[in-house]
Amino acid sequence: MQYYSTNNKNNKVNFREAILQGIANDKGLFMPESINPLSENFISNLTEFNFQEISFQIAKNFVEDEIPGNDLNSIIINSISFEAPLVNLNDNLSILELFHGPTLAFKDFGARFMARTMEYFLKGMNREITILVATSGDTGSAVANSFLNVDGIKVLVLFPSGKISKVQEKQITTLGNNIAAIEVDGTFDDCQRLVKSAFVDDELKNKINLTSANSINIGRLIPQSFYYFESFKQIKNKNQKIVYSVPSGNLGNLTAGLFAKQMGLPISKFIAATNKNDVFTKYVNDGNFNPKASVETLSNAMDVGDPSNFVRILDLYKNNHALISNIIFSKSFSDEETLNKIQELHDNNNYIIDPHGAVGCLAFDKYKNEVGEDIFGIVLETAHPAKFLNVFENNLNFKPVSPDRLNQCLNKKGETEKISSNYKDLKEILRS
């Protein structure tokens, strides 16, 4: 399988180089040359396969012969080792819980697959890689946990100071070893800008091997399509129109769903649910994409003002806004609406949801009311609500039970290196 740059379709590499480089040398993102449909027989008989078997078939579609079947299967078994259950709220809506991994967030799926795949490719290469990753919340903890103590790999996680939850910060800053936490005086967009600046710095690239673990890396994105198939398998009545509501920030989760649709999964509609950082929502609704500085919200992982994977969506649908807006519905919601939805689900359904999932539920409600059709919705619950205890303690009269592994993390002392949002500060760290 060849992967081309979104900036130049003639700039191609194989899967190994796409995942090890992270970003193309012309600053574009890698896209598969083709997204081959899976067999109708496989899709119609998903219930006959377990999650790992489904994941293997999808991964093989993108990796082809670059990793032998037995080795690819071992990577899947060691990375997709937890469930992604559907929890029914009513006859028309289910929650896809993606928080059963080690760091209690959906990023665990992609980060663990990518860590084991990189480890496989680096064996015997005598090559050391530095992973540079910007996080608005859960990416940093998932990547740090997945790459902890992996030989030949160092990880630098950049996070915006004071703009991620205390739990998320502790998960990033308490690991040590080959993981370094960089606290940036700025926003997530500043962190992302610093990462991109490093990737195009020729002087730096001549000294160290840099790659990314954000969803700009195709190795992080591909495994996120696994749970779309796994969740579809669990739907009891597949005769309804199936709609997925995706809390959307950097658009990686949404793009992975679009990949799943390209592979033949019969998804009727995607809903891109956003908070006040509504750049993509405005594009879907009026065709104008105008990046802007992100603003801080309760659903902090979605606080992105210039989503990287937008270029992949444009590429996938050949820059056809009419086609994109036909496939994707999008609405944005305020913090007040988010809190009201969390309260409503607790009172009416005895279910505690995190702020991101709440935005997803709001967007599904909006779409269902507008279309007035008999549809079945799946909302992606991207993180365990206990990762946002401050939201509950400051705004609501109830809170989720915190799992033991989070409590243990909170009792550890974190270490960070603080820098400004000026690129020279990051470059100095990388050069040393």
Whether 150 contacts 375, CB under 8 Å? no
pLDDT digits (tens, 9 = 90+) for 244-292: 999 999 999 999 999 999 999 999 999 999 999 999 999 999 999 999 9
The answer on pLDDT for 398 being more than 90 is: yes
Q: Could you report the per-residue pLDDT of 290-331, keeping only the tens digit for each?
A: 999 999 999 988 999 999 999 999 999 999 999 999 999 999
Separation between Cα atoms, residue 398 and residue 347, nearest integer Å = 10
Sequence-distant contacts of 229-233: CB under 8 A, at least 24 apart: 229/43, 229/46, 229/54, 229/58, 229/260, 229/265, 230/51, 230/54, 230/55, 230/84, 231/84, 231/86, 231/96, 231/378, 232/46, 232/265, 232/267, 233/46, 233/47, 233/49, 233/54
**Average pLDDT in the chain:** 93
Alpha-carbon distances, residue 293 vs 8, 139, 188 (angstroms): 28, 20, 9
pLDDT at 386: 92
CA angle 380, 382, 386 (to 5 degrees): 130
CA distance 2 to 209: 21
The pLDDT assigned to 145 comes to: 87
pLDDT at site 303: 92
The DSSP code sequence of 86-126 is EEEEETTEEEEE---STTSBTHHHHHHHHHHHHHHHHTTS-
pLDDT one-digit tens code per residue, 117-149? 998 998 877 778 898 888 876 777 888 888 888
Residue 162 within any structural domain of the chain: no
User: For 146-186, what is each residue's pLDDT tens digit?
Assistant: 888 888 889 999 999 988 888 888 888 988 889 999 999 99
**Quick one: pLDDT at residue 129?**
87
Question: 418: how many CB neighbours lie within 10 A of its CB?
Answer: 11
Residue 334 has pLDDT above 80, yes or no: yes
List 107, 261, 341, 366, catalytic entry: 107
The C-alpha atoms of residue 8 and residue 14 are separated, in whole angstroms, by 15
The reply to whether 254 falls in a domain is yes
pLDDT at 431 (0 to 100): 86
Name the pTM for this structure: 0.91
Asked if 157 and 172 count as a contact pair (C-beta separation under 8 A), the reply is yes
Mean pLDDT of 341-364: 98
pLDDT 10s digits, 83-103: 999 999 998 999 999 999 998
Average pLDDT, integer, range 195-219: 86
- Percent above pLDDT 70 for the chain: 100
Q: How confident is the model at residue 210 (pLDDT cuts 50, 70, 90)?
A: confident
**Can you give the pLDDT at residue 361?**
98
415, two tokens: 């270490």
Q: Tell me the average pLDDT across 2-6.
A: 98
Residue 112's pLDDT is what? Answer: 93
Phi, psi (5° rounding) for residue 108? -60, -35
Give the C-alpha distances (Å, rounded to integers) separating 45 from 38, 78, 94, 240, 262: 12, 24, 21, 17, 18
CA distance 47 to 93: 20
Mean pLDDT for 181-203 is: 89
Q: Look at residue 328 and tell me if it is in a domain.
A: yes
Q: Which structural domain, as residue segments, surrounds residue 243?
A: 83-102+221-402
418 is catalytic: no
Least confident of 23-27, 72-76, 243-247, 282-286: 23-27
pLDDT for 190? 92
Q: Is the pLDDT of residue 207 over 90?
A: no
Coil, strand or helix: which one is 278? coil
Decide if pLDDT at 47 tops 90.
Answer: yes
Has residue 58 been placed in a domain?
no
Q: Answer yes or no: is 225 within a domain.
A: yes
User: Does 339 have pLDDT greater than 80?
Assistant: yes
- Is residue 113 situated within a structural domain? no
Domain-embedded: residue 390: yes
pLDDT in tens, 360-380: 999 999 999 999 778 999 999
Number of residues in the chain? 432
Q: How many domains does the chain have?
A: 1
pLDDT of residue 299: 95
Q: What is the pLDDT at residue 62?
A: 97
Of 53-57, 227-231, 368-372, 420-424, where does mean pLDDT reach its minimum? 368-372
Helix (H/G/I), strand (E/B), else coil: 127:
coil
Q: What is the pLDDT of residue 425?
A: 94
Residue 57 is predicted with a pLDDT of 97
The CATH number of the domain holding residue 227 is 3.40.50.1100
Model confidence pLDDT, tens digit, residues 387-396: 899 899 999 9
413 inside domain? no
Share of the chain above pLDDT 90, in %: 72
Residues forming a β-bridge with 12: 4
